Structure 1
């Protein structure tokens, strides 16, 4: 599974686990706001490994695109590289 999707789904699951029970005691917007704050804190601590995998995935894609752009520029300039 894509690390970005995995991280997003994990954060959404934490938000749901926190916010849904709070909706019985608070209005929906307050419950979602509290759930979002709690999911941020939990996400920074518990999901650290997934966050690093997501960052590595994004960096690899950016590096690949940069190398492809350099290769295309070299071809347009007439270099043999």
Structure 2
């Protein structure tokens, strides 16, 4: 599975784990807001490996695109010369 999807699904699950129990005690909108804030803090610690895998995945894709763009530009410059 794509590391980006893993990270966002884990983040969503963390929000749900925090917000759903709070909905029994406070307003649903307030519980969701608290869940998002708490998941930001917990996610920073608990989702470190997923975040690093996501960053590496995105960085690899950016590098591949840059290499492809350089290669295509070099081919175009060679054709024009």
TM-score when scaled to structure 2? 0.94
Q: How large is the Cα RMSD of the aligned pairs?
A: 0.9
TM-score when scaled to structure 1? 0.94
Cα offset, 1:76, TM superposition: 0.7
- In 2, the alpha carbon distance for the partners of 1:29 and 1:69 equals 46
Structural mapping, 1:1-81, within 5 Å = 1-78=1-78
Uncovered stretches (5+) of structure 1, i.e. residues with no partner: none
Aligned residues: 79
